[in-house]
């Protein structure tokens, strides 16, 4: 399944570089694009982040929180594996974004310290802090379930989402696992769509 995701990423990043030539930045986002979210997030350097800054590059996106002891490290490991494999296959840029559920504890400083501790390659990665409202918006768009418990920890579903260079959800890996056939079919569909568009 992961190989399929990688090949999709390779394909999408090839598309992305094609788009960089055609200068699509000025167009309104497509109706099903996450770029329609006007939420303001803050990155690990304290800089404002908006979704449309992802325009032109495929992105691998997940939600987690850094004080999580159980499944969150696994999501990050999974994303790092994807990062390693895609870097071998393609030099085209792919972004890796981790959005925190934890508005209270995951300050930009905390996210930066976490990224350093995990030795994340900050040429590829962005870690993001947002208030509870923007967390809800993003979880809504990505179809992620979560709940804060009385100790301030979060129960949440583990979902890794692949966005294409226009910010449209192309594929999701979740805790239950997806049938490889689904992904294969999706890739074929994307390829067909892009061929007919040319």
Residue 165 in contact with another protein, rule: CB under 8 A: no
For the CA atoms of 105, 53, 122, 98, what is the dihedral angle to 10 degrees?
40
Q: Is 70 in the site for another protein (CB under 8 A)?
A: yes
Site size with another protein, rule: CB under 8 A: 32
Binding mask 23-42 for another protein (x = CB under 8 A): --------xxxx-xx-----
Query: Does residue 61 interact with another protein by CB under 8 A?
Result: no
The only residue of 141, 162, 163, 183 in contact with another protein, by rule CB under 8 A: 141
* Residue 150 binding another protein, by CB under 8 A: yes
DSSP letter at 88 equals: H
Nearer to another protein, 46 or 143 (CB): 143
Least CB distance from residue 149 to another protein, whole Å? Answer: 4
The verdict on 153 binding another protein (CB under 8 A) reads yes
The reply to whether 12 sits near another protein by the rule CB under 8 A is no
Backbone torsion region of residue 144, taken as left when φ is above 0, otherwise alpha when ψ lies between -120 and 50, otherwise beta: beta
User: Are 171 and 183 within 8 A, CB to CB?
Assistant: yes
C-beta neighbour count of 39 within 10 angstroms: 19
Alpha-carbon 87 to chain mean position:
16
- The smaller minimum CB distance to another protein, of residues 92 and 156, is found at 156
CB of 122 to another protein, least distance (A): 24
Min separation Cβ 7 and another protein, Å = 26
Candidate segments 78-86, 103-111, 116-124, 137-145, binder of another protein by CB under 8 A: 137-145
Span 97-136, contacts to another protein by CB under 8 A? 136
Strands 169-174 and 159-163, bridge-based pairing: antiparallel
Alpha carbon separation from 45 to 10, 104, 115 (Å, rounded): 28, 17, 11
Name the CA dihedral angle for 185, 28, 197, 7, rounded to a multiple of 10 degrees: -40
């Amino acid at each position: 399944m992961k190989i399929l995701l990688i090949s999709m990423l390779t394909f999408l990043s090839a598309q992305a570089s094609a788009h960089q030539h055609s200068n699509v930045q000025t167009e309104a986002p497509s109706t099903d694009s996450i770029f329609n979210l006007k939420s303001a997030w803050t990155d690990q350097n304290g800089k404002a982040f908006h979704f449309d800054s992802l325009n032109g590059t495929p992105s691998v996106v997940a939600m987690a929180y850094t004080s999580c002891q159980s499944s969150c490290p696994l999501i990050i490991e999974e994303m790092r594996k994807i990062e390693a494999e895609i870097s071998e296959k393609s030099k085209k840029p792919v972004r890796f974004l981790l959005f925190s559920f934890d508005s209270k504890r995951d300050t930009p400083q905390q996210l930066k310290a976490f990224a350093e501790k995990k030795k994340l390659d900050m040429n590829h990665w962005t870690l993001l802090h947002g208030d509870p409202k923007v967390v809800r918006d993003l979880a809504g768009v990505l179809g992620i379930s979560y709940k804060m418990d009385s100790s301030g920890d979060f129960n949440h579903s583990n979902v890794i989402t692949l966005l294409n260079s226009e910010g449209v959800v192309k594929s999701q890996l979740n805790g239950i696992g997806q049938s490889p056939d689904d992904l294969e079919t999706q890739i074929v569909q994307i390829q067909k769509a892009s061929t007919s568009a040319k």
